[in-house]
Structure formats: structure tokens, C-alpha cells
Amino acid sequence: MKEKTKIGLEILQTALLLGILGDVLLRSDEPGLNVLLVLGAVTAAMIMLFVRHRRGTYDNRIWALHGALVFFAAMFAWRDSEELRVWDVFAIFGIGAVLILPSLRIKVHLAGFSHYILGIIVSGINVFFAPFFLLMADIKWSSPAQNGWSRHVVSVLRGLLIAAPLLLIFGGLFMAADAVFEGVVNRTFNIVPDVVISHIFLTVFFTWVTAGYLRGFLFEIFALETVDMGLNAPSAVVSVTEPVEEKAETEPAAAAKEEEKPKERNWQDFDNSVLPKVLTLGGVETAIVLGLLDLLFLSFVIIQIPYLFGGMDLVQNTPDFKLAEFARRGFGELVAVSALVLPILLVSHWLLRKDQPVNEKLFRVLAGIQIVLLFVIMASAAQRLLLLTGPVGYGLTTTRFYPMAFMIWLAVVFGWFAVTVLRGARQHFAWGAIWSALFILGALHFVNPDAFIVRTNLRLMQQGREFDAFYNAHLSADSVPVLMEGLPAMNPEDQVEVRSILSTKMSIVCTGEDFRSWNWSRSVARKLIHEQIGPTQSGTCSGL
């Protein structure tokens, strides 16, 4: 059996098992422990296939990415915040895209954001189209299996595929012909056509997606004939003793053959040399683009400096300029400005012509000025949020908390940009930026945003601000312990509303809730509500 056929069969068998596991575990109303179990199994399968078939050792950076993947999967069993779940999903898909890069011969720690985008595109192509190559090109079905259990698995699968339609046809005819036989079959197998079809669909879907991703993890995209399982492994060198005359004769032929060989794609060193010169930037264009942006930023900063250092009194005493206009209107826009600057600087640096050293020096000066001005703008945005959520503000919400966390990450990234890109080490920027995002997102799970929001709003309530019981009680189960702790300090109307909302959550019937959807925060919240508010008609089942 050819090596690629053997590997293809292992991928197919592994994907089928993972597809069945995904159908069994992910058929629940709420994500929880099941996400950790499924992604843990996928990670174990990736490591197993890598160790079995790739030459060389497992790089520590790849181990770290796998660890981060399992960590964010585990967060589904810990936190209940919908916003954190969304970001966890982005983190998981992002890590999955980065793990594809070694199959393209790209070193993950030296990759740029363009490589990460390439990883996302290639991952999507693999997930949807790679199984076709796996089934039709990688696996030579006519190749006899010499040994191993692959031969028996393939035989069993072929037998089941042939027998299944025959059993369905004749079984259906027998059931239609005799009511007693139909009753026996229904009682034995408890067949519900809709459920059977959904199981088949989900199993096939999970199998297809997993097989495509695993193939992309091991093979370069669209690689059909050769199997290169090494990670930048050096080519083997074979030394032979031959006469000088023979060597001289064979050198031209070898050179000609070398010229005929197609060039390998080099994704690692992908730069702007592939573009026409008209699409790249020289010193003049760089000076105009970044120079004008710097002037715009500077004019805004000059206006903001009095408010930055003047504090709340200056804001409140300025005619026709109240807190709501200053804070609510400006915070989101300034976060958007901060987010847009990063891709602009990265793209302009990538398009910069490297033929003249002055171009790079000019970019460093103008980009450095822009980053300094941007930090002042970020400080202004942070001040607006503090005013908006402070003692004379309007309280903290998820739409105010998460943009602030995002801006903190941007501040870290811009600092890293200055340390790497502006010092001529762009190849290290993206790796540090992605890990800073993963660390900050991981830290948010320990901060517990929903509980932090409720705790902040309770503190403002004690300082005389109005407490929005409806909003705070509708946050996720992560906030329930803080709500229960602050319940005695609320006025009677807010206490009644909070108890009513939590009791309504408690009374939702959790059809199908089992170990697959178990979540620590929901479990703790359910227990607290049951103990402090009392059982409802649904007992201890909770819709939290």
C-alpha cells in the first residue's frame, strides 16, 4: 500500500470516529463540556497523526497552540457569557488557521498577518474541498491492503454501504406488509425518521469537515502526488564516488533537469515584489499619506488635551457640551480610529519599496509619530469611558466593557509594533500580536466580565446612581453570585424584579440537558437560585 493511501485511510477513519463523537456530544441545547470533549479529541487526533507520519519533532510553538486551543475549548465549560463564547469561537478558529501554516512550509513564529489570512483561506478550502481529494486522489482504492486493520475496516464499510439500501428497501416493504412486524421493528429500534436523518446529516457533516481539516494539517493544499511530511526537513545528501570526467558530463544534464523542475511555492517570503511597481509606495507617497494622517491626528489631539487634563469639571462647565455628548458619542468612534490605524500601518509598510533605505527611515519616523498621537487618542477614549461609567455616569454594560478590553489589546499591539516593525523585525510582529490577543482573552475569563459589570453597577448604586435591575439580571449565569450577594442592598422594587427574572430563568424546562451541556457557572447559579429564591415548578432544572 502506498504511503499516501495509508495516511489517507487513517485520516478517513479518524474523521469518521470524530464525526460520530461530534454528533453524539454536540446535540445539546447549550454548549458546555461537550465543546471541550470534542475539541480535545480533535487535538489528540492531530497530535497522533503528526507523530505517526511527520518527520522531525513536534515544535514547542505548535504544542503551545494546541494548549491554547484546548484552553479556549475548556472555557465553554466554565463561563456562560455569550460575548466570551463568541470571542472563544474566534480564538479557536484563528488557532486552527495558524496550525495549517506548517503544511505550507511557513514557520508560525515568523509568519505575518497576510500568512494568517492565507491560513484562514486555506483552512476554509480544505474543510469544504479537501475531502474530494482525499477520497478521489489520495486514497488508491484499488491498492490492496497488505496488512493491518485498515483492510478490515474498508471491507466492513463497503459491506455496510451495499447492505444498507437493501435492508431499508426490504425492511420497508415488510413493515408495510405486516402491522405486527412493523410494531416489532418500531419497538426494537424506536425509529423516528427525522431523528435518524438528522443523526446521519450531522455525522456526515462533522466527518467531512474533520477529514478536510486533518488533510490540510498534514498535506499541502491540492498536493496530489507527493507526500512531504517533513517540516522544513533538510534534503538527504547522498555521496558517491565517480570519475571527474563522468561528473563533468552529468552536470549539464542535471542542470537542465533542475531547470525543468517547477519552482515550489514560497509562502514564507511572500512580499510586494509580486506586485507591479505602480501599486507599491515610495518615499513621496509614504510622506504624503502618513504625513497628512499625522497632521489630522495632531489637530484632534490638540483639541483633546484640555479635556484630558481638565477633568470632569471642564467637561461639565463647557457651554453646550455635556457629559453624554462627550462620552457616549466619542468612545466608540475613538476605538474605531484606533483599530483602523493598525491595518493601515501594516499594509503601508508591506507596500513600501525597500530599494532605498530612506523609505524605511521615513516610514519609521512618521509611523512612530502616529503611534504616539494614537496613544493620546486612546487615553481620551479611556477617559470618556471612565466618565460614562463613573459616579455621575450611566453605569457599565457589555457594549462599553468589551470595546475597552479591545482597546487595551490595541495598546499592547501598537507597543509591540514599535518594538518589532519599526526596528526592522516585522517577521516577529504577528506572532507576538496573536499571543497577546490570546492572553488578554484568556485573562477576561478570570476577570469574569458579567460579574465585573454587575459589581460595578452595584457600587454605583451605593453611591446614589440608579440601578438597572432589568439589564443586570438578564446577564449570563456568570453574574448570578454577585447579584445574589448584592440583593439585600437593592431597593424593594429592584429586588422583586431581580428575583422575578431569575425565577423565570429557573422555571425554563431544560429538555435534553445532561452532562454534554454542563457548565460550571450555570451549575453554581442554579444552586444559588434554588437555595435563595426557592424551587419552582421545574424543580432544579434551569434555563441559565
> Looking at residue 328, what is its pLDDT?
55
How many Å apart are CA 169 and CA 536, to the nearest integer?
49
Residue with cell 493491518: 148
pTM for the complete prediction? 0.79
> Looking at residue 235, what is its pLDDT?
35
- Work out the pLDDT band at 200, boundaries 50, 70, 90: confident
Contact at 8 Å (CB) between 108 and 102? yes
Which runs of E-coded beta strand occur in 251-370?
none
pLDDT tens for 331-357 read 677 788 888 888 888 888 888 887 788
Q: Which residue has the higher pLDDT, 441 or 538?
A: 441
Question: How is residue 167 written as a grid cell?
Answer: 435492508
Contact at 8 Å (CB) between 81 and 476? yes
Question: How is residue 161 written as a grid cell?
Answer: 454501504
Torsion of the alpha carbons at 379, 380, 384 and 390, rounded to the nearest 10: 40
Bridge partner residues of 281 (DSSP): 352
- Work out the pLDDT band at 42, boundaries 50, 70, 90: very high
Asked if the model's pLDDT at residue 393 lies above 90, the reply is no
How many Å apart are CA 214 and CA 193, to the nearest integer?
31
Q: Which residue has the higher pLDDT, 113 or 323?
A: 113
Kindly give the residue spans of alpha helices, DSSP state H, lying in 58-149. 60-74, 82-100, 113-133
- Range picked from 37-41, 182-186, 262-266, 526-530 for highest mean pLDDT: 37-41
Please count the other Cβ atoms lying within 10 Å of the Cβ belonging to residue 274.
Answer: 7
- Work out the pLDDT band at 271, boundaries 50, 70, 90: low
> Exposed, middle or buried, 503 (CB in 10 Å: 0-12/13-18/19+)?
middle
> Looking at residue 19, what is its pLDDT?
92
pLDDT tens for 224-267 read 555 555 444 443 333 333 444 444 455 555 555 444 444 555 66
pLDDT tens for 47-78 read 998 888 775 667 889 999 999 999 999 999 99
Contact at 8 Å (CB) between 3 and 227? yes
Q: Which among 492, 493, 489, 451 has a CA at the least distance from the CA of 472?
A: 451
375 contact partners, CB below 8 Å, separation of at least 6: 411, 414
Residue with cell 570519475: 243
Question: How is residue 191 written as a grid cell?
Answer: 425509529
* Overall average pLDDT of the 183-202 stretch: 74
pLDDT tens for 101-111 read 988 888 888 88
> Looking at residue 113, what is its pLDDT?
85
Three-class DSSP category at 224? coil
Q: Which among 323, 402, 439 has a CA at the least distance from the CA of 84?
A: 402
pLDDT tens for 152-192 read 565 666 666 667 777 777 777 777 776 777 777 777 766 66
Average pLDDT, the chain: 79
How many Å apart are CA 364 and CA 290, to the nearest integer?
10
pLDDT tens for 450-491 read 999 999 999 988 888 888 999 999 999 999 999 999 999 999
CA angle (48 as vertex; 18, 4 as ends), nearest 5: 90
* Torsion sign (Cα): 484, 485, 488, 489: negative
> Exposed, middle or buried, 35 (CB in 10 Å: 0-12/13-18/19+)?
buried
